[in-house]
Amino acid sequence: MPEQIYVCPLGSVDEAILDGVAQRLSESTKMTVSILPPMGDPSYAYDRKRGQYNSKKILKRLGACCPRGTFKIMGVTVVDLYVPILTFVFGAAQMSGRCAVISTRRLDPLFYQETKDRLLVLERVKKTALHELGHGMGLVHCRDRRCVMFSSTRIEDTDFKRSEFCYTCRELFRWQLEKAQYLAKTKV
Ligand SMILES: [Zn+2]
Ligand SMILES: [Zn+2]
């Protein structure tokens, strides 16, 4: 069984969103991506004072309960995520690790009291998923504002960047992926 990429809904998540994430991850890696049954709300990561969910705790949990042979696993949730040093994050990932998580909360125009736009949410979700996958493959933030590895601190950053890696990040991503696939094949 070759190593797998999984998309894992954490609580109830729109199917079109999960499909969009799976599709984007599959396009960029040429690997099979499967959607797992929902894992339940990440209540264990809830911080009552902040009213938000600690992304680090979610990553840890994903790592502990992902299926055998997981190459990468991406949690998808509607709840608002944070890391202690920041007010919020659109997503988070273990650098060069297996686990990542993204939140649709602040990718939805409704969060900004703007009109509903399912296509826009999907576009933002795909960019965020690819960005976190990039971290999972060891990529750091890019200085090119149009590159998907540019760090989004505001939704405008996400909207400005493309749903693609710049040339340098793409080459690095490919190289890391080939290396990982080679190691997986030669592993006994
Ligand atoms: Zn990042
Ligand atoms: Zn780049």
User: How deeply is 43 buried, as exposed, middle or buried, from its count of CB atoms within 10 A (0-12, 13-18, 19+)?
Assistant: exposed
Rounded to whole angstroms, how far apart are CA atoms 156 and 169?
Answer: 21
Write out pLDDT tens, residues 90-149: 999 999 999 999 999 999 999 999 999 999 999 999 999 999 999 999 999 999 999 999
Q: Which of 132, 156, 164, 171 is catalytic?
A: 132
Ligand nearest to the CA of 127: 1
Write out pLDDT tens, residues 145-176: 999 999 999 999 999 999 999 999 999 999 99
Near ion ligand 2, which residues have CB within 5 Å? 142, 144, 147, 149, 166, 169
Rounded to whole angstroms, how far apart are CA atoms 150 and 144?
Answer: 6
Rounded to whole angstroms, how far apart are CA atoms 61 and 159?
Answer: 30
Distances (CA, A) of 45 to 4, 40, 60, 136, 176: 26, 12, 10, 21, 31
Residue 47 phi, psi (nearest 5): -110, 115
The pTM (predicted TM-score) of the whole model is 0.96
Asked if 114 is an active-site residue, the reply is: no
What contacts 35, CB < 8 A, 6 or more positions away?
A: 6, 7, 8, 9, 18, 19, 22
The domains found in the chain, sorted by start residue, are 4-186 (3.40.390.10)
Write out pLDDT tens, residues 1-37: 468 999 999 999 999 999 999 999 999 999 999 999 9
